[in-house]
Amino acid sequence: MIDALWTGWRSQYLAGLASHSAEDSLNQESIFTQILKTNISDEDSFIVHRGELVFVILNAFPYAVGHLLVLPYRQVDDLSSLSAIESLELWATVTRASEVLGTVYEPQGLNIGMNIGRSAGGSVAEHLHVHIVPRTIGDANFMAVTANSKTISEPLNVTAQRIRQCWLDTTSP
C-alpha cells in the first residue's frame, strides 16, 4: 500500500500544463521569455548566468539540487532554428555549467538532455532548453519509489547563490 505524500507545490506546474494546448504553446511567449521581459532581478528569477545569446536558470521544479536549464534568449522550439553562433554558445555554456556544478556539488554524474516537442516530455515545448541534472549514487532514494515524490534538500535561492558565485569565481580552462 502506498501512502499519499502532499506535494501541493506541483499543482501550479500541473495546472499550467493542462491549460495550454500544444498549438497554443507555439503561438505564445514561453515562461522563460516572460521572465526575461518582466525585468525581475536575476536573484528573484533564479537566473545564475547571462551570456551574449544564452542564459542559465534554475529549474523551478528540480529533479535534484542544482538542476539547471541552459537556453537561448531567443524563443525557438528546435535545434535547427538556432543560428550557428547561438548553437556554439549554447553548447559551450552547457559545458561550462557542467564544470560549475562539478565544483559546487561534486556529483558522481550528470544527466544532460533535451525534450524537443510536447510528446517528448517537453513541458515548455515552445522554448528550447537543455537540462543539466547533477546525480549522485543513491540520490533516487525510496521517496521516488514509495511516494512518487523527490526530496530537494536545498532551497532554490541558496542553490542559485552557490552556482552564481562559483560561476564568477572560476574561469573556464
Say whether pLDDT at 21 is over 80: no
The larger pLDDT score, comparing residue 54 to residue 26, is at: 54
CATH class of 10-169: alpha beta
The catalytic residues are 129
Is the Cα torsion angle 84, 67, 77, 114 positive or negative in sign? Answer: positive
Q: What are phi and psi of 115, to 5 degrees?
A: -115, 105
Q: What are phi and psi of 130, to 5 degrees?
A: -105, 125
| Domain boundaries defined on the chain | 10-169
Indicate the residue type of 38: T
**pTM to 2 decimal places:** 0.77
Indicate the residue type of 20: H
Residue 84 contacts residue 102 (beta carbons within 8 Å): no
pLDDT in tens, 117-127: 887 776 799 99
pLDDT in tens, 125-156: 999 999 999 998 877 654 444 455 556 678 88
